[in-house]
Amino acid sequence: MFNRENQHDVFDLFQKYPLAYGYKPLIAHMHTEILAAFAEAAANAPDFDDIGDLVYASSRSKDVVPRKCAWISTQVIGSGQARAIAVNQRILQRKASRRPGENGKMYVSPLVAALNCYGIVSELGWSEQVDRKLDPYICKESCTVDVLMFDATTTKAYVINAIGASQLQRINKSLLLGNAIPNLYAPTDRPLGNAYVPRRLARLTQLAAKAIRLACPDIEVIPLIMVVDEEQCSWFFQANRLPIEPVCAEERVCLDEFPIEESILSFVGGTGRMDVDLDKIPVHPPDNYLHALPVDRAIRPLMFLDRMVAEFESNMRDLTIWRASELHNVVRQHFNIAFARDIGRHDLEDCLRQSGWIQSPPFDRSRFYLAASGLALSRFVRQRFSQEGINLGPSVIHDMQRLVELEIAYRSKMSR
């Protein structure tokens, strides 16, 4: 059975391949190992933790709660066709304005831009009305929303902020849990009781929903607070629906006062066991996985790799050198998503290049090209989502060899 330990060994194999190129006995052995890895990984879809391990240069536990909330929401919130189109993104982002009379104040919303990709027209002129219609609190750069879900079937948007179970327990000394410790609560037991969340979390969720409703009045916007279990714990959750107004003013907000939109209690059978496996998202067809999974910090880098691999497959004669802006535009257009430019910069520089999946030309760190290891990683993920009987291993070896040759030729040319 393919597991995370196997996956780390495979990643090391991909990274070492370009270094060993030219040593025929070693390369022949590596070819055998690569073929075996692809055969073993076939149709063995990765789960939440596997995807998180793919591109992270280091573990970032603070991303786990928003990502976990996005994976849960994708499967339980809405009509079943909803998608997490923005994960852990700012509500508003200040930009320099070139328009006369605005004194440099101009705000754009990455969340509204994500909705625009689905044909939702925004009517609010952020630069003119944000100070009059919205609380200035959400204009701060640190104000983010964990998950923005959009259900194209019902044209509903869900603004979701999450809180981890351990944080909830620190706030609530009288929190009523079930009897299944260390789980969030026993799935056959009652919902959470005496569950208080910080005012900032509830207020921010409501204000973000209000901002989106002002910008996009033709859609219904629903603010939710979701309690999720911690990393390496269960997938128990509870989502409570808040009103957009009035904005919560108490020091702590009790979730008991608001209706439950969805909880794990809806997904357990008579034995008390879960009927769904929330750490895996069903993808149909399998090749469509990047269009179905939440657009979170682990998936976006894979989107960049996918487009670089597609360009290589269409042109194997030359090594394509990309500007960051070119990659941003290609990813946005192909996957119909929107994200802030600084987030894309982080995906390219801190995730992909730092991990060795892409490289930069000598003396030019602002451009990027696909590394042979990155091509293998992208195909490997595709292999894990593939249908039975499809093995991408042989074609990967041929293309990795070609990419290494192109890189050697390019670096040789640049050193003259």
CA-wise closest residue to 15 among 358, 360, 365: 358
Query: Above 80 in pLDDT, residue 139?
Result: no
Residue 411 binned pLDDT confidence (cut-offs 50, 70, 90): confident
Burial track 59-69 (b if 16+ CB lie within 10 A, e otherwise) = eeeebbbbbbb
- Of residues 247 and 164, the one with the higher pLDDT is 164
Average pLDDT over residues 89-105: 64
* Nearest 10 degrees: Cα torsion 87, 93, 98, 103: 170
Query: Above 70 in pLDDT, residue 390?
Result: yes
Q: How many CB atoms lie within 10 A of CB 403?
A: 24
What is the DSSP-derived secondary structure letter of residue 243? P
pLDDT-above-70 percentage for the chain: 80
Choose from 130-144, 274-288, 367-381 the range with maximum mean pLDDT.
Answer: 367-381
Q: What is the pLDDT of residue 104?
A: 52
Average pLDDT over residues 355-371: 92
Residues 6+ apart with CB under 8 A from 388: 42, 43
Window from 175-179, 336-340, 379-383, 401-405 with minimum mean pLDDT: 175-179
Query: Above 80 in pLDDT, residue 87?
Result: yes
**Spatial contact of 238 and 192, defined as CB atoms under 8 Å apart:** yes
Bond prior to 100 in cis (omega within 30° of 0): no
Query: What are phi and psi for residue 151, nearest 5 degrees?
Result: -105, 105
Query: Above 70 in pLDDT, residue 65?
Result: yes
CA-wise closest residue to 337 among 283, 295, 281: 295
**SS3 label, residue 368:** strand
Mean pLDDT of the chain: 82
Residues 6+ apart with CB under 8 A from 131: 105
Q: What is the pLDDT of residue 58?
A: 46
**Strands 144-151 vs 83-90: parallel, antiparallel or unpaired:** antiparallel
Average pLDDT over residues 306-323: 94
**Spatial contact of 206 and 245, defined as CB atoms under 8 Å apart:** yes
Residue 181 binned pLDDT confidence (cut-offs 50, 70, 90): very low
- Of residues 221 and 411, the one with the higher pLDDT is 221
Average pLDDT over residues 21-49: 85
pTM of the shown model: 0.88
Q: What is the pLDDT of residue 312?
A: 96
What are 10's two structure tokens? 């495979």
- Residue 62 CA to its chain's centroid (Å): 13
What are 116's two structure tokens? 């625009």
**Spatial contact of 68 and 51, defined as CB atoms under 8 Å apart:** no
Domain ranges of the chain: 4-58+297-414, 62-267
Residue 131 binned pLDDT confidence (cut-offs 50, 70, 90): very low
Average pLDDT over residues 233-253: 83
Q: What is the pLDDT of residue 2?
A: 57
Q: What is the pLDDT of residue 341?
A: 85
Q: What is the pLDDT of residue 333?
A: 93
Window from 42-56, 64-78, 309-323 with minimum mean pLDDT: 42-56
Residues 6+ apart with CB under 8 A from 197: 163, 168, 171, 225, 252, 253, 255
Q: Which helix (H) or strand (E) holds 68?
A: helix 64-76
Average pLDDT over residues 218-246: 87
Window from 66-80, 283-297, 369-383 with minimum mean pLDDT: 283-297
Q: What is the pLDDT of residue 57?
A: 44
Query: Above 60 in pLDDT, residue 324?
Result: yes
DSSP labels for 148-214?
A: EEEETTTTEEEEEEEEEHHHHHHH-TT-B--SSTTSSS-TTSPPPBS-EEEHHHHHHHHHHHHHHHH
379 vs 356: CA distance, rounded Å: 16
Q: Which residues pair with 263 in a beta bridge?
A: 238
Residue 314 binned pLDDT confidence (cut-offs 50, 70, 90): very high
Average pLDDT over residues 34-59: 77
**SS3 label, residue 270:** coil
Query: Above 70 in pLDDT, residue 354?
Result: yes
Choose from 42-51, 270-279, 287-296, 317-326 the range with maximum mean pLDDT.
Answer: 317-326
CA-wise closest residue to 146 among 194, 190, 89, 104: 89
Residue 372 binned pLDDT confidence (cut-offs 50, 70, 90): very high
**Spatial contact of 121 and 216, defined as CB atoms under 8 Å apart:** yes
Query: Above 70 in pLDDT, residue 188?
Result: no
Burial of 135 (0-12, 13-18, 19+ CB in 10 A): middle
